[in-house]
Amino acid sequence: MKKYGVIFLGIISLFAFYKCSNEKENLIDNQKQEEIQENVNGQDKGLRLIKKFVEQVNSKSSRSNIFDFSDLKIKKIDKDIIKVDNLCQNLTRSSKQIDINVDTYRFTFEKDSKQGFAIATDDQRVDRVLAFVEEGALADTAYVPGMAYMVKGFKDVLAEDLNIFYTKGTSANEFYQEWTLPPFIKTQWHRVEPYNNNYKSPTSACTETLNGKYQASSTAISIAQSIANYPQDYDVPAALLKKHNITQLIAQSKIYEWDTELAPKVAAFVKEFDPDKTTKFKCTGSSTEIADLGDVLTSLGFTSKYYRYQNKHDIITTFKSLRFSCPTVNAALDRSFSQAEAWIVDGFWGMVNSNVTDIMLTSVHCVFANGGTGNGWYASPSEPIDGNGKPVYNPSQYYHKMSLTFMPICPWCVWE
């Protein structure tokens, strides 16, 4: 039924467009009214924004353990000032000087014996939750590169928001609708044991893993989880089901090394996505480019009709597939092209125009290859392109970006 509902939403009438526009106006009016009535600022405003955001992203979630604030303990509050000195080039500056500093508050909290964090702004120009992570800390960016990538992007997010604020946006006459697509990846796999049990050991055993073997790449973990979580009521390739018992692999969120039945099976599955010929094996985390996995995907029945590969991160393509519970694996290479990092996008919140050609105020749910650490919602900027349609790179970010979006293949799936 969920799939049919999505299809009907895709066929929106002009009346619906008018309604969406009014809903957007009402949403903005209500937000302004709340600010006037509550007259809050600082950390109180930040916490209010976080609570409201969590309610929004949970509004359509089918999870039984939806996050609530009833027994949440705030352990620490830090104030940070982000200097947005990379405002968009098309920003029309007024005669008065524009303040490029944006105050943010980071809340470190504890819930159900797990530590998490959230970051929100305190700025009348930008009402924004930058991050909401149920398990993890900002310090985890030191060893979760995909998480570090998203956090570095916050500066671009704020620049984008300030540009909209001062120019009143470039799509004032467009009809936008608020969309919430809840996350759906059931697994929390890692790059170490037992997932790397089928990898080799170097001459001197790796000290980073208990079994002494090379770590799996984040690309392998991300692609493997995406395929394992591909909707079972779609046309799942027979070649995949013949070779791997997918139902067993996703029956629980994690598989442990002492599970003598499932550990060998998940190890064999993950290793397929780190081919010996193209993978750079490392103790600290192997490196595989998703562009090198075409033959592997085809061998499992995932021919090119099952995915769309692009040399960029494309939120519009991602959004279209997320409507059908099909994830996107975003990836990036560092400037030396020596290390590839990948992570899954499996959830979306934002404003989308009627013909799905423009998306703004976006947050995405990310699943990293670290056993659940850092998984959560991150504000995501649009990926700017130059006049030739090629991505514009921020020097502080990875140099080369790519993505692989899984497509819904089924009789009732109307993707476009």
Question: 13: pLDDT confidence band, cut at 50, 70 and 90?
Answer: very low
> pLDDT-based confidence at 389, cuts 50/70/90?
low
pLDDT at 382: 72
Mean residue pLDDT of the chain comes to: 84
Q: How many CA atoms lie within 13 A of 379 on its CB side?
A: 26
pLDDT at 163 over 60: yes
CA angle 172, 393, 341 (to 5 degrees): 115
Tell me how crowded residue 264 is: count the other CB atoms within 10 A of its CB. Answer: 14
* Closest listed residue to residue 380, CA positions, set 405, 360, 397, 399: 360
* Per-residue confidence (pLDDT) for residue 301, from 0 to 100: 97
In tens, the pLDDT along 296-310 reads 999 999 999 999 999
Instruction: For 42-59, write each residue's pLDDT tens digit.
Output: 889 999 999 999 888 887
Q: What is the pTM of this model?
A: 0.86
Look-up: residue for tokens 């090198």? 292
Say if residue 103's pLDDT is above 90: yes
Q: Per-residue confidence at 62, pLDDT binned at 50, 70, 90?
A: low
In this structure, of 55-59, 385-389, 411-415, the range with the lowest mean pLDDT score is 385-389
Question: pLDDT digit string (tens) for 227-276?
Answer: 999 999 999 999 999 999 999 999 999 999 999 999 999 999 999 999 99
Instruction: Please give the backbone phi and psi of residue 298, each rounded to the nearest 5 degrees, phi first.
Output: -65, -40
Q: Is the dihedral of CA 49, 9, 315, 215 positive or negative?
A: positive
Take residue 319 and report the two structure tokens written for it: 């959004």
Reported confidence tier of residue 195, pLDDT bands at 50, 70, 90? very high
How many C-beta neighbours within 10 Å does residue 75 have? 12
Residues above pLDDT 70, as percent of the chain: 80
Q: What is the pLDDT of residues 328-381, one digit of tens each?
A: 999 988 877 778 899 999 999 999 998 998 888 889 999 999 999 999 999 987
* pLDDT tens column, 321-339: 999 999 999 998 887 777 8
